[in-house]
């Protein structure tokens, strides 16, 4: 049986152009190589799974490529590129600072810095999770980082820039990697599905993208998990079931029932949500998020802020037209208070049920406040 390769590795970008969602950074790096204004120390910072280490490897490969094209992309056919792709390059060294964070580890790296590259023009040192280095290790590294040999380039990567001492930061060009947008993640997942001949639903990919919290690697891992669960067909229902995500439908029904002053329907719906295994505190913030989406949907200009499938966007726009602004404002205040009271409540289910009763009664209270028309006599 052939060895299985997870999508995060199989579809890992090999060129600057294939890096997802970091165009500003990749363009800057390519221009630096084109104009030969390459810094000797870089710091790539950002949350997990956004392409820091991947970009570091592509930059390393591009710097030493023998057949660099006009697009400033590694050729992947020269000896330098092939040796890197096959894991036998002596010009690119990676150090995981999470497990190699002592002074001795840094001194060993400094010894390697002194050795000139065997082929190519540069020797590149990638230090991942650099914030894990001890203070003594950072201090031992400072002199080399400030005055490295002409052939040496350092690329430091971290998820916690605030833990790096200022003297190191001042010696690096700093690139902040952003969380990847839902639209970019969905597009990339579609490309992976196409390459693997997997049937996917657009709504399902949006849920995966939202669950990944801006991390492409997390999105690909979730995608692989769903593919295994569904035997090759990624549907909206299968994603909700596997990831234990509450369907939008419940929140649409809650608001519809509230607009009709139907307390019984909402209490029964809440009971169904609990029977499916969802936690109370998943439910309340989810309803608040739904109300926020309704507010955003009230204006065509802000409706574009909704990062979800078009089919669901249309439903939000339709429900927003029938939902008074005052209802949404009062409901959000109620849900905020419920979240605060929930933490100290002994009967948490009752707390949420009372919230739902009051939530469903908002419209009738608003009607009572309206001045009644008085006929002139």
Backbone phi and psi for residue 343, each to the nearest 5 degrees, phi listed first: -65, -30
For the cut 50, the answer to whether the pLDDT of residue 1 exceeds it is no
pLDDT digits (tens, 9 = 90+) for 46-73: 988 898 999 999 999 999 888 888 889 8
Question: What was the pLDDT predicted at 303?
Answer: 84
pTM score > 0.85 for this model?
no
- Return the DSSP state at 101: -
pLDDT digits (tens, 9 = 90+) for 210-252: 888 888 989 999 998 888 888 778 888 888 888 878 888 999 9
Mean pLDDT of the chain: 87
Closest CA to 6 of 234, 218, 212: 218
Mean pLDDT of 347-371: 87
For the cut 70, the answer to whether the pLDDT of residue 375 exceeds it is no
Mean pLDDT of 272-286: 84
Mean pLDDT of 274-284: 82
Question: What was the pLDDT predicted at 297?
Answer: 92
For the cut 70, the answer to whether the pLDDT of residue 19 exceeds it is yes
As beta bridge partners, residue 33 has none
Task: Please give the torsion angle defined by the CA atoms of residues 289, 290, 291 and 293, in that order, rounded to the nearest 10 degrees.
Answer: 90
Least confident piece of the model among 65-74, 186-195, 266-275: 65-74
Residue 256's pLDDT band, with cuts at 50, 70 and 90, is very high
Closest CA to 323 of 273, 361, 363, 269: 363
Question: What was the pLDDT predicted at 268?
Answer: 94
As beta bridge partners, residue 42 has 155, 173
pLDDT digits (tens, 9 = 90+) for 298-351: 988 888 888 888 888 889 999 999 999 999 999 999 999 998 888 888 888 899
Query: Domains along the chain?
Result: 7-176 (3.40.50.300), 182-243 (1.10.8.60), 248-367 (1.20.272.10)
pLDDT digits (tens, 9 = 90+) for 145-182: 888 888 999 999 999 999 998 888 988 999 999 999 88
Question: What was the pLDDT predicted at 362?
Answer: 92
Mean pLDDT of 292-301: 90
């Amino acid at each position: 049986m052939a060895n299985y390769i997870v999508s995060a590795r199989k579809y890992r970008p090999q060129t600057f152009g294939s890096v997802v969602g970091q165009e500003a950074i990749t363009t800057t790096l390519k221009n630096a190589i084109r104009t030969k204004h390459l810094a000797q120390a870089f710091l790539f910072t950002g949350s997990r799974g956004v392409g820091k280490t991947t970009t570091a490897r592509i930059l390393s490969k591009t710097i030493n490529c023998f057949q660099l094209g006009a697009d400033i992309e590694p050729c992947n056919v020269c000896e330098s590129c092939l040796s890197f792709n096959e894991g036998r390059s002596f010009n690119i060294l990676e150090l995981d600072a999470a497990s190699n964070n002592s002074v001795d580890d840094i001194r060993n790296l400094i010894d390697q810095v002194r050795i000139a590259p065997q082929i190519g023009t540069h020797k590149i040192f990638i230090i991942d999770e650099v914030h894990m280095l001890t203070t003594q290790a950072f201090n031992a590294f400072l002199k080399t980082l400030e005055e490295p040999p002409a052939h040496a380039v350092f690329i430091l990567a971290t998820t916690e820039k605030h833990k790096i001492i200022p003297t190191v930061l001042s010696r690096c060009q700093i690139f902040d990697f952003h969380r990847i947008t839902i639209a970019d993640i969905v597009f990339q997942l579609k490309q992976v599905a196409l390459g693997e001949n997997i049937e996917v639903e657009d709504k399902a990919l949006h849920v995966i993208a939202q669950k990944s919290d801006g991390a492409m690697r997390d999105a690909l891992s979730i995608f692989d998990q769903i593919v295994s669960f569904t035997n090759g067909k990624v549907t909206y229902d299968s994603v909700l079931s596997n990831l234990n995500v509450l369907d939008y439908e419940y929140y649409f029904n809650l608001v519809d029932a509230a607009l009709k002053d139907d307390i019984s329907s909402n209490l029964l719906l809440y009971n169904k949500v609990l029977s499916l295994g969802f936690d109370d505190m998943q439910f309340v913030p989810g309803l608040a998020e739904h109300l926020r989406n309704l507010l955003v949907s009230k204006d065509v200009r802000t409706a574009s802020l909704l990062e979800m499938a078009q089919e669901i966007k249309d439903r939000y726009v339709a429900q927003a037209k029938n939902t008074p602004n005052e209802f949404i404002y009062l409901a959000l205040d109620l849900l905020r208070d419920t979240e605060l009271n929930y933490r100290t409540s002994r009967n948490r289910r009752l707390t949420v049920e009372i919230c739902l009763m009051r939530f469903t009664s908002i419209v009738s209270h608003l009607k009572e406040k309206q001045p009644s028309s008085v006929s002139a006599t």
